[in-house]
Amino acid sequence: MHVLRLYDVAWAIDLARVEALIAAQTPEAVARIRLTRAEPKAMAFGVPPLEIWLGTVELPMAGGPPIKADATARLYDFGAVSIALRVPAAGLTWNEFTDLALTVDDAAAEPAAAELWTTLIERVRRLALPAFERPSSGGVGRPTVAGLEEDYLLATVQRFDPPLNAEQILEELDLIPLLSGERRELSDAARADLLRYRFSYYTTDLAVLTWDRAFLVEPTGDRDVADVLEVANAQLLELRYYDELLDQELPRTYARVAEARLTRFALSSRRYRYLARDIQTLVAEVTEITERIDNAIKVTEDVYLARIYASALELFRVPSWVTSVDRKLAILKDTYTALSDEAATIRIEVLEAAIVLLIILEILLAFVF
């Protein structure tokens, strides 16, 4: 099983440069990720993320010895990093597998694990910092949004003994504790809701999604579904970042507009122009990065993965975040248009006043001479 934690680290990441930096030291520790089941023309990453091997770590467990986990990091070109802890779960009964998943998920969220997560993401920053464009931590012109992270649990089974198909899994195994993270009995309505997003392509595979975890059965061992869910989480993270960034920028913009209007008439046009330029730059940057986020994965013909991807976006409320970002960008665009018009009006008024003054001066000079 995999415990994911995603971070925003930069406006953009030059993945080719990261690959070169790490490959020069440990070539075996870095690889590009590609979908294995889908044909490239059917579904593919816009820019394939880069995976870095971080070694074996120990996840602290409350009231017991730590659990060993393999740690990896995936870097996305739009500035997100996903840290994954892979915990082996072979040879377990279903109840043991469920207990392990819940225990690992709880442990990863405990304060005792915070140091481990921090150590891993800081290691990625040290390794890849030269390839970060405007890093979130200490970067000029890019504010840091405190506490912005996304967590997700992927509980994956490759085979059952004795073998079970997807229909038998749903009928014979109680998936609800694993999907809900709850050890108490849930109502029938809550149970039905947790099983609403379930998918199978072959009789032997299964994917059941919830907003913070997924249960996957992949007999072939491929990770396409897991990769698609990770991308959706990365997109959610970045949209949340830019929504929060715009929330911070809008009050600042209003304050700067009010300040410019209090400025002396002769200087206000220049301040309006500077402010309009800053707004235009922000709008262009956010628009560019949101388009890059939207194009992180391209789906055309693989209906199964496309359905899972679309359902994940719906579960994570990504369309709502897109709407929120677009609405705030529209406000900034309207503000830019109003400032540009006001600056142009002031310039015209200044020019007209100058012409009137010149005429008056000419009349006065005519009387004097």
Q: pLDDT of 74-123, one tens digit each?
A: 999 999 999 999 999 988 999 999 999 999 999 999 998 999 999 999 99
Express as a percent the part of the chain with pLDDT over 90. 53
Question: Mind giving me the DSSP string for 295-346?
Answer: TSEEESS-HHHHHHHHHHHHHTTHHHHHHHHHHHHHHHHHHHHHHHHHHHHH
Q: What pLDDT was estimated at residue 336? A: 78
Region 149-158 average pLDDT: 96
Taking the C-alpha atoms of residue 137 and residue 75, their distance in angstroms, rounded to an integer, is: 16
Q: Which is higher by pLDDT, 50 or 143?
A: 50
Q: How far apart are CA 49 and CA 73, in angstroms?
A: 10
Q: What pLDDT was estimated at residue 142?
A: 61
Tens digits of residue pLDDT in 295-339: 888 776 778 898 999 999 999 999 999 999 999 988 888 887 777
- What would the two tokens of residue 118 be? 């921090």
**HSE on the CB side for 190, CA within 13 Å?**
10
The pTM score is 0.86
Q: What was the pLDDT predicted at 280? A: 84
Q: Which of 112, 225, 218, 246 is nearest to 159 (CA)?
A: 218
Compare 35 and 16 and report the one with higher pLDDT.
16
- What is the spatial distance between Cα 231 and Cα 313, in angstroms, rounded to a whole number? 10
CB 234 within 8 A of CB 313: no
Q: What are the boundaries of each domain within the chain?
A: 2-223, 231-368
- Taking alpha carbons only, the member of 109, 120, 91, 123 closest to residue 153 is 109
Q: Which of 3, 318, 10 is nearest to 151 (CA)?
A: 3
Q: How many CB atoms lie within 10 A of CB 296?
A: 19
